[in-house]
Chains A and B, each alone.
Chain A
Amino acid sequence: AQSVAQPEDQVNVAEGNPLTVKCTYSVSGNPYLFWYVQYPNRGLQFLLKYITGDNLVKGSYGFEAEFNKSQTSFHLKKPSALVSDSALYFCAVRGAIKAAGNKLTFGGGTRVLVKP
């Protein structure tokens, strides 16, 4: 079974400071990893994904994430946070193997609060 852990329910950061949202995963075979952001009463917006290739993935709105196979992690980062980055962030994983039905498994979410 595949699983995702986001160990922090909430992350507080001052505007302009670096932002990190942690994610670790467990999956059979090679992982496909995703980050999504959700604003209040809205659906999920795609930020970035890792399929293969470079371990550092760059995505939307200045976000990036680093795939670390040995630590089974895929932490989301932004060098300089904005107040508008305040939202709920979800990490998700699915296995590369088609037998899994391409189901995404989501982490519990991390609320990011960026203070001015």
Chain B
Amino acid sequence: GAVVSQHPSRVICKSGTSVKIECRSLDFQATTMFWYRQFPKQSLMLMATSNEGSKATYEQGVEKDKFLINHASLTLSTLTVTSAHPEDSSFYICSARGQGPYNEQFFGPGTRLTVL
């Protein structure tokens, strides 16, 4: 149990385009989803926290208009990187938390974004 998937696993895009990353909880309902960014050889940096049906809460320094987060259902959250630039290239990891036995963060496998 407690499986979280991400799609795509890797994406390469041109500068200026937008990219959408999906995060799904496969076998539990995720009341909260978290989006992290990880630079090479560095730790995870929390970007935002989203609760189902409400607006995401962004961490300080994270541009909400740049990184659009939608958590429209209890099993799906999406992160859209708008007008991507090379400096947005990174490894993006989501996690999902539910209720009861799922009341901890379960992590997805990550998405490698490369912006050319």
List the interface of chain A (C-beta within 8 A of B): 34, 36, 41-46, 49, 90, 101-104, 106-109, 111
User: With A49-B104, A104-B105, A108-B43 known to touch, is A43 a contact of B6 (CB < 8 Å)?
Assistant: yes
Q: How many A-B residue pairs have CB under 8 A?
A: 44
Which B90-116 residues have C-beta < 8 A from chain A? 91, 93, 95, 97, 104-110, 112
Q: Does B25 have its Cβ within 8 Å of any Cβ on chain A?
A: no
Q: Do A109 and B43 have beta carbons less than 8 Å apart?
A: yes
The range of chain B's interface size is: 20 to 34
Q: Does B44 have its Cβ within 8 Å of any Cβ on chain A?
A: yes
Taking A43-B110, A101-B49, A103-B46 as given, write out 17 further A-B residue pairs in contact, using a Cβ cutoff of 8 Å, ordered by the A residue number: A34-B104, A41-B91, A41-B110, A43-B6, A43-B107, A43-B109, A44-B44, A44-B93, A44-B107, A46-B106, A46-B107, A90-B44, A102-B97, A103-B34, A104-B105, A108-B42, A109-B41
Q: Do A103 and B109 have beta carbons less than 8 Å apart?
A: no
Q: Which residues of B contact A44 (CB under 8 A)?
A: 44, 93, 95, 107
